Structure 1
């Protein structure tokens, strides 16, 4: 009798959970840089160089074989050709600054990967069909318009993409745990496949090992 009662209780609880949608899965910010003071100082200098668009300083910390794509475009010369760091419209500075600003973590070999939205992405969550909010109180709107009604808020939550073709006009369509579709500013969510940067210590100095997006 007790077993039957427990079974009924479980079914009831499952029904409640289903009615209210799956519980939110959060990816809180992580930044382990300060656990290795030498690396922390190195990163701070790199961030300062990026802020002042110091091409020479960035090139100086690239690994000679820095990985830039999955198609074999590697190395310092390929980096310069791809990013055109001295061009007024180069996208390097904002892209690299954003990746560095979002923390990161060390692996078992002592290498550091940034941002945390890549390095700490939970296994089992599809990287192609999900994004994570990179702040608290990220507003989800009924339409891709700042004037649209707010239908929810995200606090570092991982949500599904409602449109796998990507952002449209600065907005990303997401699917909330309830199943409702909403829209968030694309700058406030991030895919684990967005640009990430990896660091490794070689010959006694820290270097950028890869700066890459996609899979």
Structure 2
């Protein structure tokens, strides 16, 4: 192309105008995408190259690379189940799980000690207190969550009513595994440290950005320990009563190791001080001996 055309002010102005409104000049087939096109015949050299117009009026900044979900250090727990499904307790536990799902008060009632069931540090709860005839009672919800993970053997010889040489079981075994695998800093020994942790139970559990199943997933966790977002929990509590809060009844606020905050399904989040069921045999029959909580 003659140099006089390349230097034409009108043509240069048109090129700039085209670039400003975001138009592009298509590359010929096979040309490298970032190389300027030549309008000069292949057998005629040119002394001045033609500048490739920009595709927008502003420079394009490189986009930051998004980290992969869960791109942070992990603190996993071995939450395997110690119960042999074919054992006497294994068969009892399956019947117990089914009774809880069915809200079968006739199955559960005989498992409660006659003088009441100790729960946490409170006074023993009688059958009337447990309201087994109400399928929405708090005790059914406690059993629902406690019986899902695995169980571990535990000593029960300090319970006066148990049969001699009986093997006790604790369900869930999450607190046992936490204390066996997670050592608190020396300056934080005591229950305050336990309040700061959440154990996410299950495989490939989603952590959502908001307390909403449709919100963005920010991480995927499997049987691991994260921080309890106590500040967010207290902020929600300050606004609405716990019993009236669908957020706190359905979600647990957590902080991931990378500092990002999110929410985990409450049914899949446990804390070391959550209720756990102690089973033992009394007169040859399995019974709920105690439900420790908060200790």
Structure 1 segments (4+ residues) deviating >4 Å: none
| Equivalence for 1:70 | 121
Q: Kindly state the Cα deviation for residue 26 of structure 1 after the two structures are TM-superposed.
A: 1.0
1:91 correspondence with 2:138: yes
| Equivalence for 1:17 | none
Instruction: Tell which structure's C-alpha radius of gyration is larger.
Output: 2
Match among 150, 170, 175 for residue 103 of structure 1 = 150
Q: 1:149 to 1:53 in 2, by over 3 A?
A: closer
Count residues in correspondence.
191
Q: 1:61 to 1:145 in 2, by over 3 A?
A: closer
Normalised to the residue count of structure 2, the TM-score between the two structures is: 0.57
Unmatched 5+ stretches in structure 2: 1-70, 157-166, 185-192, 237-244
Normalised to the residue count of structure 1, the TM-score between the two structures is: 0.76
Q: Following the alignment from structure 1 to structure 2, what is the Cα–Cα distance between the partners of residues 143 and 88?
A: 30
Q: Kindly state the Cα deviation for residue 64 of structure 1 after the two structures are TM-superposed.
A: 3.3
- Asked if 2 retains the 8 angstrom alpha-carbon contact of 1:68 and 1:79, the reply is no
1:202 correspondence with 2:269: no
Per-residue deviation, residues 86-138 of structure 1 (Å, max 9, x unmatched) = 12432333321331121110025631000122232235243211111111222
Match of 1:106, SS state, is strand
Q: Kindly state the Cα deviation for residue 191 of structure 1 after the two structures are TM-superposed.
A: 1.4
Q: 1:184 to 1:50 in 2, by over 3 A?
A: closer
Per-residue deviation, residues 56-81 of structure 1 (Å, max 9, x unmatched) = 2212122335312303x11xxx3323
Higher relative contact order (CA 8 A, sep 6+): 1
More strand by share: 1
- Asked if 1 retains the 8 angstrom alpha-carbon contact of 2:103 and 2:135, the reply is no
Q: Following the alignment from structure 2 to structure 1, what is the Cα–Cα distance between the partners of residues 294 and 106?
A: 27
| Equivalence for 1:182 | 262
Q: 1:185 to 1:81 in 2, by over 3 A?
A: same
1:119 correspondence with 2:180: no
Match of 1:182, SS state, is strand
- Asked if 2 retains the 8 angstrom alpha-carbon contact of 1:30 and 1:105, the reply is no
| Equivalence for 1:148 | 215
Q: 1:45 to 1:175 in 2, by over 3 A?
A: same
Q: Following the alignment from structure 1 to structure 2, what is the Cα–Cα distance between the partners of residues 175 and 53?
A: 35
- Asked if 1 retains the 8 angstrom alpha-carbon contact of 2:200 and 2:270, the reply is yes
Q: Following the alignment from structure 2 to structure 1, what is the Cα–Cα distance between the partners of residues 149 and 168?
A: 16
- Asked if 1 retains the 8 angstrom alpha-carbon contact of 2:200 and 2:221, the reply is yes
Q: 1:155 to 1:51 in 2, by over 3 A?
A: closer
